[in-house]
């Protein structure tokens, strides 16, 4: 099998992906079609992951999070 790299404008990507997936001989590697994140986006994702981890620890009873009222009182 031969691998082919195609650069598609972001605005045309959804249409191209629909077309490519309809061809029975084409295998689409979804991991490679993902856009690269900027440093700012990566930082946001890492912060979001950390927040989700804190929520998970809270639901397990391992940490106590501030209530909304406690948060507002700090402002």
pLDDT, tens digit, for every residue of 17-65?
A: 888 888 888 888 777 666 677 889 889 989 999 999 999 999 999 999 9
DSSP tally for the chain: helices H, then strands E: 4, 0
Question: In 3-state terms, what secondary structure has residue 48?
Answer: helix
Range of the domain at 44: 35-75
**Does some domain include residue 60?**
yes
Q: Specify if 66 maps to a domain.
A: yes
User: Does residue 43 form part of some domain?
Assistant: yes
**Is the pLDDT higher at 13 or at 33?**
13
Two tokens at 58?
């809270």
Domain annotation covers residue 4 = no
Q: Is residue 49 part of a domain?
A: yes
Residues 18 and 26: their CA atoms lie apart, in Å, by: 11
Length of the chain, in residues: 75
Whether 1 is covered by a domain: the verdict is no
17 and 28 in contact (C-beta within 8 Å)? yes
6, part of any domain: no
Structural domains in the chain (count):
1
In a domain, 21, yes or no: no
């Amino acid at each position: 099998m031969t691998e082919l790299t195609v650069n598609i404008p972001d605005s045309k990507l959804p249409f191209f992906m629909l077309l490519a997936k309809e061809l029975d001989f084409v295998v689409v590697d979804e991991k490679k079609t993902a856009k690269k994140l900027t440093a700012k986006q990566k930082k946001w994702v890492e912060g979001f992951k950390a927040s989700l981890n804190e929520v998970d620890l809270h639901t397990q009873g391992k940490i106590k999070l501030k209530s909304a009222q406690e948060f507002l009182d700090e402002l």
